[in-house]
């Protein structure tokens, strides 16, 4: 289990699969996301919708290695993958025409990690 001490089984499985896919597909982005998720909860990233709005263009694919929060507005459609979302963040992303995914769903859709930005 490579020294993981996470009690959340979903988080453990996500980190393991991200590391596996990073080496299998030679996609360092998934290794970087796994490292971010391995940090303690208090050091994990929390990103507001407003930050996603500032740093993306319509149609971008972003991954947040942590939680997406609902502060701010999103005025263009983006695909956002994260470990968790607040209810208001989901509503705002969907309302703008975007998609909300768990990191594992994005990993299945895009195993090479091409055209994916890490925001946080």
> Which residues is 102 bridged to in the sheet?
82
Cβ-contact 98, 77 below 8 angstroms: yes
Cβ-contact 105, 81 below 8 angstroms: yes
| Domains, the chain, with CATH or none | 9-118 (3.100.10.10)
Question: What pLDDT, on the 0 to 100 scale, is given for residue 120?
Answer: 83
Instruction: Please give the share of the chain, as a percent, with pLDDT higher than 70.
Output: 97
Output the pTM of the full model: 0.90
> pLDDT (tens digit, 9 = 90+) per residue, 52-110?
999 999 999 999 999 999 999 999 999 999 999 999 999 999 999 999 999 999 999 99
What are residue 66's phi and psi, to 5 degrees?
A: 165, -135
> pLDDT (tens digit, 9 = 90+) per residue, 4-58?
677 889 999 999 999 999 999 999 999 999 999 999 988 988 999 999 999 999 9
d(CA 82, CA 102): 5
């Amino acid at each position: 289990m490579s020294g993981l001490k996470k009690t959340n089984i979903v988080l453990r499985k996500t980190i393991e699969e991200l590391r596996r896919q990073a080496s299998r597909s030679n996609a360092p982005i998934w290794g970087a996301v796994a490292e971010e998720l391995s940090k303690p909860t208090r050091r994990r990233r929390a990103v507001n919708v407003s930050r996603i709005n500032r740093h993306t263009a319509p149609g971008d694919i972003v991954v947040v290695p942590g939680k997406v929060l609902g502060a701010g507005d999103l005025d263009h459609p983006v695909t956002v993958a994260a470990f968790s979302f607040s209810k208001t963040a989901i509503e705002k992303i969907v309302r703008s025409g975007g998609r909300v995914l768990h990191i594992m769903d994005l990993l299945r859709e895009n195993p090479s990690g091409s055209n994916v930005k890490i925001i946080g």
